[in-house]
Structure formats: C-alpha cells, structure tokens
Amino acid sequence: MGKRAVLALTAMLVLWLPAAAEAKPIPNLSFKDLAGVKKSFADLRGSIVVVNFWATWCGPCREELPLLTGLNVQYSAKKVKFIEISENENGDSKAGRAKIDEFMKAHGPGLEVWTGADMDTLGRLGLGNELPATIILDENGNVICQLLGEARETDLRTALDWLLNGRTGPAPVQIVKHL
C-alpha cells in the first residue's frame, strides 16, 4: 500500500471514530432528601450517577420509574447511584412529602429521593421545561448525557456501560429527546 493510500485510510478512520462525549460540569445546586437533610450535586462526586427529575402528576414519569428502579438494582453493585429529584410543588411541606412518599412506595421503591427542584432548576441544567428529564454524571460531576422526556433503557445502559467500561467504544449521544 502506498504512502498516499495509508494517509487517506488514516484520515478516514480519524473522521469515522466517534468523538468522546464532551463532559461539562454540573452547577452545584442544593436540594433536600426526604429526611430534610441538605444535599447537593457536589455530594455525588466519586460515583457515576443517574439524576432523574420527575413529579407525581407526570404520566411519563410514572411510566419510567419501574425501569429506573430495576436499573438501580442491577447497577448498584457497580457503584452507580440513582437519584430522583421531585419537582412537586410544596415537596418540602408535610403534605407534599406524604404525597411523594406514597408515590415512591408504589412506583419507585428503593430509589433515593430529593426535593426542591422546579422548572428554573431544569432550565439551569439545560433540560428545558418538560418532565421527565434525566442527566447522567461521571465520577467527577460532569454531565455525560441528557435525556429529555421518558428515558429508554438503551439510552441509560449505553451511557452507564460506556462509563463503567473505561469510556471505550462509541461515546453516548449528548442529548437524547423522547418528547
């Protein structure tokens, strides 16, 4: 093979190889867990994390919770965390918390829940203004993938497995919309 053919083949391979996901740091926003303890995104560093924004009144949120619960069980041994952040109005009130507790017992047992999100929160994270919305964070707190609308199993597994396998193979798509 001639020098030109080798250079042409090399150029084609470089153009063909997928670019690595561009990690962008997540703003350090604060929330509360269901015990009222302050939590922030900085608390999640050191783990791969799936952060899902939802509300009890959101139909697609209800549809995706069993998937998230199942993946939480499957990936927990691999040190992946799943955090559900509620966008419910009055989520920090006693009545609001009771509604969230009841909902999670029925639809998402075993998932860690935080409260205090609102549509401004979603906007600050680049998630638009619709629920559900999900972000996947690497160990350094960088956003690897954003899922707008109901998350699909393949979207979640692709990003998680890519991170768990040393970022080898094609990088996950940065923004996936299922609206």
The residue ranges of DSSP E strands in the chain, in sequence order, are 24-25, 30-33, 38-40, 48-54, 80-86, 112-115, 133-137, 142-149, 175-178
- The domains of the chain, with CATH numbers, are 22-178 (3.40.30.10)
**pLDDT score of 108:** 74
Percentage of the chain beyond pLDDT 90 is 62
Task: Give the model confidence (pLDDT) of 76-124 as tens digits.
Answer: 999 899 999 999 866 566 767 788 888 888 877 889 999 999 989 999 9
Q: Is residue 148 helix, strand or coil?
A: strand
Task: Look over the chain and give the mean of its residue pLDDT values, rounded to a whole number.
Answer: 84
For 33-65, the three-class secondary structure string (H helix, E strand, C coil) is: ECCCCEEEHHHHCCCEEEEEEECCCCHHHHHHH
Say how many Å lie between the first and final Cα of the chain, rounded.
Answer: 49
Regions in the chain scoring below 70 on pLDDT: 1-23, 89-93, 95, 179
